[in-house]
Structure 1
Amino acid sequence: MTDVNTTADAPRSPGRPRSARADEAIIEATLDLLAEGSTIEALSIEAIAARAGVGKATIYRRWAGKETLLLDALRRLKGVAAQPAGQSVRDDLVLLVGAVGHNVDPRAARIMPCLLPEVNRSPDHFHLYQNIIEPRRKLMRDVLRRGVATGELRADLDIEVAMALLTGPMLIQRLLRWHPELDDRILPEKIVDGVLTGLRAR
C-alpha cells in the first residue's frame, strides 16, 4: 500500500510542519478499525499504519503511543462540544443534554457501545474515557453553578448528582434505544424541565 505522505518517514528539518493528510489518514484508520469490531486491546499500531498507508514511525512521531492516538481519535468521533450561550440556564441545559450521546459520525453507533465493557474492565481505558468526557461535563457543571450563583437554582444543589439526573436518561436512550416511543427531538427539553422542577430555587 502506498504511503499517504511519501516524505512522512524522512527526517524533518526543524520547524517543518507535519503532514495534515497523514494525521487525517491515521485518525480515520483508527476509527475504521474500531468500527469494524477491533477491541482496544487488539488494536495495534501496526494495523493502524497498514490501514492508513503510513509507516509506524510516522505514527510514533505524532503520538507517544496507542493510548494518546485513541484519545485523539475518540475526541474526533465525539466532535466539537456544544457551547452554551450563557443567557438562560434552561436553554443551556437543553443544548447540553441534547448533545449527550449524539454523534454526527455514523461510526459512533458501532464504536461507543463496544467501548463500554472495556472501560469497565480496564482502569487505563476508564481513564481514557474520563479524559474524553470531562470537558463536556465541565460545561454542564459551569451552567449549573451559574444557576446557583444567580439564584435560579437551589443554593444547596448537589452539582454532580444534578448532572447525573440530566445526562443519564438521554445517554440510556441514545446508547440502548431504551424506549422506542420516546422522541429524541423533544426529549432533551422534557428531561431538563422535569429535573429543573426539583432543582429550581424555592
Structure 2
Amino acid sequence: MTIQEPAVARPAGRPRSEKAEKAIIEATLDLLGEGMGVSELSIEAIASRAGVGKTTIYRRWSNKEDLIVDALATLKAPLPELGGTSVRDDLISLLGAMRAEAGQPRSRCVMNIAMSEADRYPRLMERFVERAITPRREAMRAVIERGIASGELDPGLDVDMGMALLSGTMLWHTKWGPEGELDPGLPERVVDVVMAGIAARP
C-alpha cells in the first residue's frame, strides 16, 4: 500500500496578483510614454493595454491619479546605500541614482508629460513629490548637514543652495544635455565642481 504525500495548497492568487499589477504599471507607462496626456489617459485604455478588467485595476487603485503616481514612482532608481564615511562619496552615490533613472528610455518622455500637467493635476504631483522626490531631498540634505557638522563643508553653507547646485546641475544634463547615454563619470564630475565652491576652506 502506497502512502501518498498530502497535497500542499498553493497560496491563492498571489503570483497572479503581482503579474497583473506589473502589467497595469507597464501599460500606464507605455501609454504615457507614447504621448498620451494625463487627461486623456483612462482606466479603460490602461485595462485594455494590460489585458485585465477595469475591476482588477480598481481593486488596487481607487482612481487614475493614484495609479499614475505609483507608475511614475517605479521610474525612480532606489536610494543607494550610503557609506557615511565621506560626504563626497555619498553625494556621488546620490547623483549616480539620478543618472541611473535618467538612463531609462521612457523616463524623460514620461516625466516631461507628467510635469507639464502639474498645474491641472496638483494633487497628483503633490503625491508624486511626497513619495518619490522628498526621500531623495531628505537624503541629500542629511549628507550636506553631516558634512557641515564634520567640517568637510563650509560652515556657512546655505544647505538649500548646495542641494540646488548639485541636483540642478544633474537635472540640466539629464533633461537638456546632449542626447545619448550619460557619461558614467558625470556624478563624480558634478560633485567635484560643486564641492570646489562649498567645501570648507583650510
Match of 1:56 among 20, 40, 54: 54
4+ runs of 1 displaced by more than 6 Å? none
Match of 2:63 among 34, 49, 65: 65
Identity %: 49
Decide whether the 8 Å contact of 1:101 with 1:175 is kept in 2.
Answer: no
Deviation at 1:39, TM superposition (A): 0.8
Deviation at 1:152, TM superposition (A): 1.3
Partner amino acid for 1:119?
Answer: A
Partner of 2:193: 194
Match of 2:45 among 44, 47, 51: 47
The CA RMSD over aligned residues, in Å, is 2.5
The aligned runs of 1:91-170 (5 Å cut-off) are 91-103=89-101, 104-120=103-119, 122-131=121-130, 132-170=132-170
Partner of 2:35: 37
Deviation at 1:138, TM superposition (A): 1.4
5+ residue gaps, structure 1, are 1-14
What TM-score, normalized to structure 2? 0.82
What TM-score, normalized to structure 1? 0.82
Decide whether the 8 Å contact of 1:67 with 1:128 is kept in 2.
Answer: no
Greater C-alpha radius of gyration: 2
Per-residue CA deviation, residues 16-56 of structure 1 (Å, 9 max, x unaligned), is 74711111111111111111111111111111111111111
Partners in 2 of 1:198 and 1:115 — Cα distance? 33
Deviation at 1:101, TM superposition (A): 4.9
Q: Secondary structure in 2 aligned to 1:78?
A: coil
Decide whether the 8 Å contact of 2:73 with 2:128 is kept in 1.
Answer: no
Partner amino acid for 2:18?
Answer: A
Decide whether the 8 Å contact of 2:77 with 2:97 is kept in 1.
Answer: no
Partner amino acid for 1:118?
Answer: E
Partner amino acid for 1:106?
Answer: P
Decide whether the 8 Å contact of 2:77 with 2:98 is kept in 1.
Answer: no
Partner amino acid for 1:87?
Answer: T
Partner amino acid for 2:115?
Answer: L
Deviation at 1:122, TM superposition (A): 4.0
Count of aligned pairs: 187
Partners in 1 of 2:192 and 2:119 — Cα distance? 31
